[in-house]
Chains A and B, each alone.
Chain A
Amino acid sequence: MLHPVPTLKETPSQTAGPYVHIGLTPNFAEIKGVYDADPGSTMLTPDTKGDRITIVGKIFDGAGAPVNDALVELWQADGDGSYVAPMAPNSNSAPAFTGWGRQPTNGDGVFSFETIKPGPVPGPDGKPMAPHVNLWIVARGINIGLQTRLYFEDEAEANGQDYVLNKIMDPRRRLTLIARKEAGDVPRYVLEINLQGDKETVFFDM
């Protein structure tokens, strides 16, 4: 099938700047009373089905310094592997699970999401991809948002067959997307994200 030629150009990106938290997580930025809650700050309700997990990330720049002014968004499937919508920007009125979260990094460059473990989503070849969450990172000094994924250490077999992980030629770089598991009542999955350097995270053009 032939396709129409696009008639407009995408609006070019500009950095989110040092004060992205004012706009996207104003309560965290101590601007109180404009929004009841920061959008995406709560992903779970008591009615959410699925295995509770905590995803923790720490972002470093190329000099090894924590990136303490970043904004991270997470988009994931539910426990059955379906992407769900719609929702309201005020997370307090969201349905049982929306799949979308948004968190600032703190002074140590750390962000965390209280969520559920996603199920496998079909890949382009029809085979299931390994469970993963999609991450989008913006900050001062990032000219266009960085897109990546987080996979789970305890899904080794599925990870080994994953469509995206297998597109990464260097097996050492595959490891930059796989979060380490820390057992507990609510398991924690911990990932170090490096914007640059020997352990630079794999980012996507998608």
Chain B
Amino acid sequence: MSDIILPGADGVLYQRDRAWHPPANTPGYKSTTFRAPRNALLSLSGTASELTGPTFGHSAINPLDNDLIRNYSQDGSEAIGQRLIVYGQVLDENARAVPNTLVEFWQANAGGRYRHKKEAYLAPIDPNFGGCGRAVTDENGFYSFRTVKPGAYPWPNGVNDWRPAHIHFSVFGHAFAQRLITQMYFEGDPMIWQCPIVGSIADKSAIDQLVARLDRHNTTPMDALAYRFDIVLRGRRSTMFENKLEGN
């Protein structure tokens, strides 16, 4: 019964540390200029509207949904690029695993090109790479998928800005106020530290949380390198449940 969320004074989420996240307006990332709200956010303690959220079952996840090497194959061939396993655990701020939650991911291909009609980069499309996938975490909060390493690519911001190799992540948790979108980077990539989007985060240790670690133990020999990327969602204050302090 550890997933029951009760509205009220207990069971609300810890206050979001807005200084740990990027602020809305970060001039180095020019697209924020006209898209950042200027008024203060309205503080709202949790009601059922924020403390509940959609949950997803394993049943409708197709076997290839977490295999970006094969899930868009047009001719039976696999996607081109360096083969990777990306995996990790979804936790909350109390270090409790978040089971049965939907994790979605999308990325550029090995050349740094997205499959999108507005994408103008000259790197070629891979006919067998779509660039999206999803997984539902297991009972211990773990997800995993196979993919190819995305390429770095230039983007229209500064005259010569480049994105480091990255994978976009979307995570639900069990409350709508836990909803999170972020990006994963690769350990040791010098491109991380020159990126204006990474630089929208002020605290270096917060950025470190977005850097996946090379994991030699989970490498598939003669096949794929492994990177581990754990994701932490907002935690909630303890709730008395059946007279027991729950979740501690």
Contacts and interface: CB of A to CB of B under 8 A. Distances in A.
Bind each other: yes
Interface of A: 1, 3-4, 6-24, 26, 29-31, 33-35, 39, 61-63, 65, 67, 69, 73, 75, 77, 83, 85-90, 93, 98-100, 121-124, 129, 132, 134, 136, 138-147, 149, 163-164, 167-168, 173, 195-196, 200-206
B34 A62 contact: yes
A30 B117 contact: yes
Contact of A121 (B47, B133, B176): B47
B181 A138 contact: yes
Given A11-B209, A23-B106, A124-B45, 5 more contacts: A8-B95, A19-B114, A65-B34, A143-B29, A163-B47
B34 A11 contact: no
Nearest to A118: B49
Given A9-B17, A29-B116, A85 B34 contact: no
Interface stretch (B19-27, B79-87, B138-146, B214-222): B19-27
A124 B182 contact: no
Interface of B: 7-8, 10, 13-14, 16-18, 20-24, 26, 29, 31-39, 41-50, 52-57, 59-62, 64-65, 71-72, 91-95, 102, 104-106, 114-119, 130-134, 136, 168, 170, 176-177, 179-183, 197-198, 200-201, 206-207, 209-210, 231-235, 237-238, 240, 245, 248
B65 A88 contact: no
Contacts of B245: 1
B41 A204 contact: yes
Contacts of A141: 29, 31-36
A69 B35 CA distance: 12
A124 B47 contact: yes
Nearest to B64: A34
10 contacts: A7-B93, A7-B94, A10-B180, A18-B118, A24-B170, A34-B64, A85-B54, A89-B56, A121-B49, A205-B18
Nearest to A169: B42
A136 B176 contact: yes
Interface centre among B32, B42, B179, B206 (most CB of A within 10 A): B42
A144 B22 contact: yes
A205 B56 contact: no
Contacts of B177: 147, 206
A12 B93 contact: no
Given A26-B130, A196-B38, A203-B42, A7 B50 contact: no
A57 to B, nearest CB: 16
Q: Per DSSP, are chain A's interface residues mostly helix, strand or loop, or mixed?
A: loop
A130 to B, nearest CB: 11
B49 A129 contact: yes
B229 to A, nearest CB: 9
A195 B47 contact: no
A195 B34 contact: yes
A14 B42 contact: no
B118 A15 contact: no
A21 B181 CA distance: 13
B62 to A, nearest CB: 8
A40 to B, nearest CB: 8
Contact of A143 (B32, B61, B179, B233): B32
Contacts of A144: 21-22, 24
A22 B38 contact: no
A33 B23 CA distance: 37
Interface centre among A139, A168, A204 (most CB of B within 10 A): A204
Given A10-B20, A19-B119, A23-B168, A204 B44 contact: yes
B201 A23 contact: no
A30 B47 CA distance: 37
A31 B18 contact: no
Contacts of A73: 179
A12 B22 contact: yes
